[in-house]
């Protein structure tokens, strides 16, 4: 077997393994995982050709190369799998936060459809982040129940609606981190 063929195979395998390690460490790169799988597959084809074309190629060396390729493949496989697995806290979809009843869904590890409901009658609340008495006062978001004679059921201080939802998301994350949501 020629020197350059061995180098080509080795480079392909090393690149696959490195790709696997990068995928394991950097979540944002996982989208490129399928690209890397194609890459590994072409590496396997190359090895297969090598096996039959160059019979002098020693068996143990092939075995080592295959082992590396499999490690790379499994790494990528589990990286993809863990991304689609439901998080452990996927049953945590409701809680009382800032005196309001909040409900949400999980899309992977992202909170979606986050909204609040009346703690006394469970009606969907409406928000008002437009009222502000003076320039110097912080922006507030009121959550109002139309079913309870338009009473304000809760107020989040510090910003408008998107800020209020962000604050609730941060509180949900905090309760998950500290394990408070299990009590
Ligand atoms: Zn109500």
* d(CA 130, ligand 1 centre) in Å: 21
* d(CA 31, ligand 1 centre) in Å: 44
* d(CA 157, ligand 1 centre) in Å: 21
Alpha carbons 23 and 81: distance in angstroms, whole number: 12
Q: Is 0.75 topped by the overall pTM?
A: no
Q: 132 — alpha (psi -120 to 50), left (phi > 0) or beta? A: beta
Domain residues for 53?
A: 3-84
Report phi then psi at 182, rounded to 5: -85, -10
* d(CA 66, ligand 1 centre) in Å: 64
Do 49 and 99 share a structural domain? no
Question: Could you say which of 84, 106, 130 is where a domain stops?
Answer: 84
Residue linked to tokens 């909040």? 102
Summarised one tens digit per residue, pLDDT across range 89-148 is 888 999 999 999 999 999 888 999 999 999 999 999 999 998 776 777 888 999 999 999
Give a yes or no: residue 145 inside a domain: yes
Residue 30, pLDDT score: 63
Question: Could you say which of 19, 53, 84 is where a domain stops?
Answer: 84
* d(CA 97, ligand 1 centre) in Å: 16
């Amino acid at each position: 077997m020629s020197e350059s063929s061995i180098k080509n195979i080795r480079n392909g395998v090393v690149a696959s393994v490195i790709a696997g390690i990068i995928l394991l460490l950097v979540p944002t790169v996982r989208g490129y995982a399928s690209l890397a799988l194609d890459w590994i597959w072409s590496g396997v084809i190359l090895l297969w050709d090598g096996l039959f074309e160059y019979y002098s190629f020693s068996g143990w060396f092939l075995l080592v190369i295959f082992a590396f390729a499999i490690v790379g493949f499994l790494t990528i496989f589990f990286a993809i799998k863990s991304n689609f697995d439901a998080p452990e806290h996927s049953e945590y979809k409701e809680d009382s936060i800032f005196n309001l009843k909040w409900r949400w869904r999980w899309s992977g590890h992202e909170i979606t459809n986050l909204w609040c409901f009346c703690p006394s009658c469970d009606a969907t609340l409406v928000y008002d982040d437009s009222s502000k008495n003076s320039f110097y006062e912080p922006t507030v978001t009121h959550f109002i129940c139309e079913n309870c004679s338009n009473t304000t059921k809760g107020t989040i201080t510090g910003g408008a609606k998107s800020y209020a939802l962000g604050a609730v998301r941060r509180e949900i994350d905090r309760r998950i981190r500290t394990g408070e949501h299990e009590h």
